[in-house]
Amino acid sequence: MSLDKPRTIFVCSCERTMPGYGGSVARACTNAEVQSGDHLCGAELGRVRSALSAGGAVTIACTQQAPLFREVAEEVGFAGDLAFANIRETAGWSEDAAAAGPKAAALLAMAIEPVAPPALVTLESNGVVLVYGRDEAAIEAGRQLADELDVTVLLSRPDEIAPHRVWDFPVVQGTIRNAHGHLGAFELTVDDFALPAPSSRDRLHFGTSRDGAISKADIILDLSGGVALFPAHELREGYLRADPADRAGVVAAIAKAAGLVGEFDKPRYIDFSADLCAHSRSRITGCTRCLDLCPTGAITPAGNHVAIDAEVCAGCGNCAAACPTGAAAYAVPDGEALLRRLRTLLVAYREAGGSDPVVLFHDGNHGDALVDALARFGRGLPANVLPVAVNEITQLGIEAWTAPVAWGAVAVRALASAKPKHEITGLARNVTIANRLGQSLGYGAEICGVIEADDPDILRTALDQVSPGANERKPATFLPLGDKRSLLRSTMTELHRAAPTPVDRVVLPSAAPFGGLEFDVEGCTLCLSCVSACPTGALSDSEDHPALYFSESACVQCGLCAATCPEKVITLAPRVDFSAWSAPRQAVKEEEPYDCIRCGNPFGTKSTVERIVAKLEGKHWMFAGENARRLDLVRMCDNCRVDAAMNEGFDPYETSPRPAPRTTEDYLRARKASEDKPV
């Protein structure tokens, strides 16, 4: 790999607890100055300080002491590019450390790749909290929060609650029917709502109740012990839920609620382009992939497209991984940046002398902790396993699974918890598609997969079982450019080009983001309803004559064409046809237009007009016998048909001719003739 600008790279052996990888790094990063050390955060800190004082770009192979190095950079006024990479837990602390030099070089090269920070969504909470419960536990929680927050306690079907001498905060009765919103903007519909009677004596009494009361809050503390108010409730910002019988859980929830005041920033995880969405056309539903997978209910239908509530979105990325058009694209980081980092990783690994690379995707919470535990207390990662941290493994689309294979990876794995916080149905579906492609193209069976492990030794065992396969690889070198759909298309093309045993067509399971269409050509009337419904332009027509064309590379299998077709002659065919992808649009059906028998202008198609005439001629009373001439109207264009019907007195119901319009002169003439007539 050749860097765009000179850079100083510090490679530390961490007090000689791992090999020095300076030579491997120098082979991969040919345009950088590589400096090796044993104690860069201590005895050799001056070397780092000098490099930072000189400016330029600096990469340090240490993440543990990143705060210290940033502090030094601030002290010396460093304004350049400062990057960090962890090669200790991921490479050096392993029983395979001696062979992990190429991996260390690859990880450092990947760390240099720039990643733009995502846009932020700001949630603002003024500290209005609704404590929802059923007994004294809710009132006690309200009492503990009353000094810091604006508290209201809502009791669902309270029983034998002793009234307090002084109420420092409202206590009301009601049952939440439904709720929506997020931190700073919750809205709840409450049934059986009633205010307490001030005269309550031995126990709390409530007045007349009513249904449908609306309550708004910034925070909800749910101690009701019932069903959660939201799907995937643990991912809903501002909604805290604890079992009232779990005292430790209640205490933790109260403490967390007390801190939810002020402004809170979260990433805008999804970049959404409504004009690319294939959800619906003309009130006919097409693609529902994102709606089916969103765990939090952040996605809702909104006419021809869907709407994504960025405040509710928890960032799982299932929608972006499944979206076939790129309307929903993950932004932490974006798809192009992720693939660019993967390419840099694999190219640098190969240039440093590495072989049989295995890409291991993992998240920052579960994955980092497990890799760290494996390095500290176990055998460490194998030398050929290249860990790549992502925000959520569920964000990985088919392009993220297959592009590393095209670039030379012998396998791709994602590390998931045995009890993942996000549903991995969409992830498993993409893995199935990637494996179908890999096996059909000769890369091997099960080239992609998910390792569900909470134990570091189980992780190591699973990685040891990854086989590099017997087929020779021809690694691709393409650059990932463009939006999500462009990345997917280029990845598929390069995967086929680098395949050990390429085939022209691979049949895929349903819900694949690409495929073909099967047409009953004889039944097609060229009404072109499918063309108007197609959101991607995969189906098109001609300006010159009646025709239907299909571009398979643009088809996203949304199903709108099949649902719209009045003749029901279109069937989805999930697949990848590489020859069709490289070919221009194909003609599905073409016909000569039918010429109007009066003006000669073309209209409709010959087969359609003749079919209508054949069905009506001699078989319908309006066009039988002497009325057969009326079929000429079918053979005319719209303008001539109207003109003939109006000016030639055509009446489909054979009523008597209408009298001609009479003017004032007609009446006067008739009167005069009547007066002149002899008696």
Looking at the domain assignment, is residue 665 inside a domain?
A: yes
Q: DSSP 3-state assignment of 190?
A: strand
Q: Look at the block and give the residue holding tokens 């073309």.
A: 602
At 26 the pLDDT is: 92
Considering the domain architecture, whether residues 160 and 214 belong to the same structural domain is answered as yes
Residue linked to tokens 């669902």: 156
Instruction: Answer yes or no: is 358 within a domain.
Output: yes
The verdict on residue 586 lying in a domain is yes
Mean pLDDT, the chain, integer? 91
CATH number of the domain enclosing 531: 3.30.70.3270
Can you give the residue range of the structural domain that contains 675?
594-601+615-679
- Decide which of 469, 497, 525 is a domain's last residue: 497
Whether residues 239 and 277 share a domain: the answer is no
Position 21 in a domain: yes
Question: What's the confidence (pLDDT) of residue 651?
Answer: 60
Angle between the 366-377 and 456-464 helix axes, to the nearest 10 degrees? 90
Beta strands in 303-357 (DSSP E): 305-308, 328-330
DSSP run (H or E) holding 33: strand 32-37
Buried b (16+ CB within 10 A) or exposed e, 445-481: eebbbbbbbeebeebbebbeebeebeeebeebebebe
In a domain? residue 348 = yes
Query: Residue 198's pLDDT is what?
Result: 87
Those residues of the chain that have pLDDT short of 70 are 1-5, 470-471, 620-622, 624-627, 648-659, 677-679
The whole-number pLDDT of residue 339 equals 97
How confident is the model over 589-627, as pLDDT tens digits?
998 888 898 898 888 787 788 888 888 877 766 676 666
CA 580 to chain centroid, in Å, comes to 27
On whether both 490 and 344 belong to a single domain, the answer is: yes
Q: Same domain for 418 and 295?
A: no
Residues 466, 413: contact at Cβ < 8 Å? yes
pLDDT score, position 672: 78
Q: How many domains does the chain have?
A: 6
Q: What is the pLDDT of residue 144?
A: 95
Is residue 98 a part of any domain in this protein? no
State the pLDDT at residue 621.
67
Pair 167, 197 in one domain: yes
**Based on the domain organization, do 393 and 304 belong to the same domain?**
no
pLDDT at residue 3, rounded to an integer: 43
Q: Taking the model in full, what pTM does it have? A: 0.87
Identify the domain boundary among 313, 330, 347: 330
Pair (437, 452) in one structural domain = yes
Is residue 250 located within the same domain as residue 372? no
